[in-house]
Each structure stands twice: as structure tokens, then as C-alpha cells.
Amino acid sequence: MRKKIVAGNWKMNNNLEAGIKLAQEVLEKATGNEEAQIVLGTPFIHLNKLAESIVGKKGIEVAAQNCSDKASGAYTGETSAEMVKSTGVNYVILGHSERREYFNETNQELAAKLDLALTNNLVPIFCCGEPLEIREKEEHYAYVKQQLTESLFHLSANDFAKTVIAYEPIWAIGTGKTATSAQAQEMHAELRNHLADHFGQELADTCPILYGGSCKPSNAQEIFAGADVDGGLIGGASLNADDFLAIVNSF
């Protein structure tokens, strides 16, 4: 059976104190028997503290929200995959649409980030998804498949087996507008077929594909019911421990 994952993406929210408090609240309120792996995607400033106080407790994991496409060197302000790993966390979110849009991340750069993440034993949560105009032109399947082809298809079977994918239609992020459960399931099934064409059915069948975009306690159960929807990447609702855990418990 595929692993189920519900990951929070705090984005650029919570200073050090507020982030620790939120993570502690999630830890206290989690039962440890959740059906889904809980991952907290936090700003870099929280990683080391949370690695010490949260990672592994009740099975909770912590993710960075980015890493550099360079291994080390004179890249002021950047944080390498090796540095992320050295904090004690095990996951990294890569290629979020906000990073693609505001920081011009390309599929090719993301391929390099994936390599560095995997070399440093970080589990990448690779984000993909189409903007509204692409969906309106009905080119969304081709668009998202190309993101996977250009960033993931160079991976070895071994590395691909460690990779998590998050489909986040950009028009559903922070807008209150979710994809319908049918739209999410259709895209996830398309992506899994695309992965199967390249990596083989067996590996494609083990790859968790998460949905992201205005996921809330009120709609998570319906969205997660899709056969190819293996969990969620949660923005706004992950900033509240009760809402986040309600989503985690929506399977």
C-alpha cells in the first residue's frame, strides 16, 4: 500500500517562537496513530530546533521549503541540501509554484535540486501544477507531465522510489477554490500513468501523490477519497494545529 502523507507548508509565516509553539501544539494533539505521515514544512529558522524537539516524536517529520541547486560556495543567502540535512530534518519541499513564479525556478534547476536533496538523503516533495490560463486552454495534463519529465525523469529508479509528488493547481492555492475531487483524481491518475510509462507500473504505484490547494477540514475527506490521492500539501490550514490535524485525520 502507498504511504499517505499530509504535509503542512507554513510558507513565510511564524517567527521562531510562534513556529515552535505551533509545532509543539501539533505534537501534543497528535495521537501518534494517524493514518498519514505528518510533515511540517517550516522556514529554515525553525529546522534545527524542531529537529531536536519534534522529529521522530509520534512519527512527525519536518521539511525545509527549499534548498539551493548548488552544493556549496559563494552563493550569498542560499542554503544547501547538505546544510538542511545537517539540521536533523529529513524532508524538503521543492518547486513550489510560489518559488517558480517569484524566484523564477525552472524545471532544469529543480532537477539539480532534486539530485542534491536525494544525494543528501532528504525526501523531496516535488511540487507541480498548472496556472489557470493553461487549464482554460485544456493543456493542463501536458503542462504538468512536462514538469515531471524535465525534473524527475533523469532520476534512477532507486532515487525516484524515495520521491514524493505534490500536485497543486495554481488557481486553487490560497484562493479558497479547490479542484473538485474528480479533477484532483483525474490529474493524479494521469500523472501516475505518465510515471509508469517511464519508471514502470510497480514504482509508479508506490509513489505518493499529494494534492494541494485550499485543502481544509471541510473538504479534505472528499479530496482524499480519490484512489490516486495519497494525502495533501496544506498551506493556510496548516497554521492552525486543530485544522491541520483534522485534515491529517480525514482518511
Q: Which residues bind ligand 13P (CB under 6 A)?
A: 9, 96, 168, 173-174, 212-215, 233-237
* CB-count burial class (<10 Å; 0-12, 13-18, 19+) for 40: buried
Which grid coordinates are listed for 24?
Answer: 509543539
- The single residue of 61, 98, 130, 168 carrying the catalytic annotation is 168
* CB-count burial class (<10 Å; 0-12, 13-18, 19+) for 107: middle
H or E segment and range at residue 39: strand 37-41
Min dist. Cβ of residue 66 to ligand 13P (A): 12
**Beta carbon nearer to ligand 13P, 148 or 234:** 234
**Beta carbon nearer to ligand 13P, 85 or 96:** 96
Min dist. Cβ of residue 11 to ligand 13P (A): 7
Q: Which residue is nearest to ligand 13P (CB)?
A: 235
Residue bearing cell 492555492: 173
- The single residue of 46, 96, 140, 194 carrying the catalytic annotation is 96
**Beta carbon nearer to ligand 13P, 88 or 217:** 217
**Beta carbon nearer to ligand 13P, 122 or 173:** 173
What is the Cα–Cα distance from 221 to 165, expressed in whole angstroms? 19
Min dist. Cβ of residue 212 to ligand 13P (A): 4
Let me know the angle formed at the C-alpha of 2 by 185 and 139, rounded to the nearest 5 degrees. Answer: 30
Min dist. Cβ of residue 72 to ligand 13P (A): 27
CA 89, 156, 100, 210 torsion: positive or negative? negative
On whether the CB atoms of residues 26 and 38 are closer than 8 A, the answer is yes
Min dist. Cβ of residue 207 to ligand 13P (A): 18
Catalytic annotation present for 96: yes
**Beta carbon nearer to ligand 13P, 40 or 234:** 234
Which grid coordinates are listed for 119?
Answer: 544525494
Give the active site residues.
96, 168
